Amino acid sequence: MTLREWWVLARPPTLPASVAPVAVGVAAGALAGSVSWLLTGVMLAVALLLQIGTNMANEYADFRRGVDQADSVGIAGFLVTGHMTAPEIRRWAAGTFLAALLLGMVLVAARGLWLLGLGALGASAAGLYNAGPRPLSATPFGEAVVFLIMGPIEVVASELAAVGRFTPAGVLASLAVGCTVASILMANNLRDRLPDRDRGRRTVAVLLGPRAAQRGLEALVAVGLLLPLLFGAASLLPITAGGPALLLPWAWARLRTLARPEGLAKSVLVAGRIHLWSGLLLALGLAAGVWVR
């Protein structure tokens, strides 16, 4: 495999989804202790490798189940075109997960068994998401799994890696991150609603229909952007953490474009950008709380 092929398989448009949880976890940790930037870098590498491995595993699993076709959107497409074989993708996914595991053990050695437990929980949930004859990605529980893995688990793990402990601030902030990252999957499933329905998948978007699924997507984003402000007003987070609420008019305008058929093709890109910018604003607001508290 060439570096370019590996990069396409990694699905680079999805990778910012892993940056926001790490940034928020590190910023929340900075409220409670001194940050290890070396271990933060290792944590970011682990998060990115886990997502890349999951993307590869998803490419393999969906191809084997007949979900991915030549006209499928958002995939690398190497399998449906015959450019690569399923065993090759499976080996690369396994190798990527192994690299994440080895780096993760560095974090466990430095920060303790809490990280091992969180890693095992996240890996188990990720396995259930992709594996088996009825993976969670094909059920109404996909968004909940993504919320858990890339919200609370990844934020708290990043906080542990950065400062060696987790805090109530990190847990609360992780709820907002979980909402916006789950909105990416909701946007993906809204875009793929018709082919998913035809292939027997029963995602939230399939069950609710386009209009209700659109409202669900908007609700996830609104809650994710407003929660830090509410927590700040209640003095549970620094008031500066409320910055994501400033994105609400911008986010709402872009989400409304998805209600039109021609806008659905950009749904994942739109939700991904909202997640990334809200996560970075939340991280900056938490970091600013170090000086304003």
Domains contained in the chain, number? 2
- Residue at 121 is within a domain: yes
What are the 10-residue block averages of pLDDT along the chain, 293 residues in total?
77 86 95 91 93 83 65 60 76 88 93 89 79 78 92 94 93 97 92 84 91 93 97 94 96 84 78 94 91 66
Q: Nearest-CA neighbor of 52 among 13, 88, 96?
A: 96
Long-range contacts of residues 98-104, Cβ cutoff 8 Å, at least 24 apart: 99/49, 100/45, 100/46, 100/49, 100/50, 100/53, 103/42, 103/45, 103/46, 103/49, 104/46
Range(s) of the domain holding residue 198: 167-293
Residue 56 vs residues 10, 91, 95: alpha-carbon distances, Å: 7, 9, 11
Q: Nearest-CA neighbor of 129 among 101, 151, 149, 154?
A: 149
Residue 1 vs residues 8, 84, 145: alpha-carbon distances, Å: 11, 9, 31
Which of residues 135, 155, 187 is at a domain's end? Answer: 135
Q: Nearest-CA neighbor of 25 among 154, 146, 113?
A: 154
Domain at 288, CATH number: 1.20.120.1780
Q: What is the pLDDT of residue 102?
A: 93
Domain shared by 202 and 125, yes or no: no
- Residue at 82 is within a domain: yes
DSSP, collapsed to helix, strand or coil, labels residue 209 as coil
pTM for this one? Answer: 0.89
- Residue at 140 is within a domain: no
- Residue at 161 is within a domain: no
Tokens 């449906």 belong to residue: 80
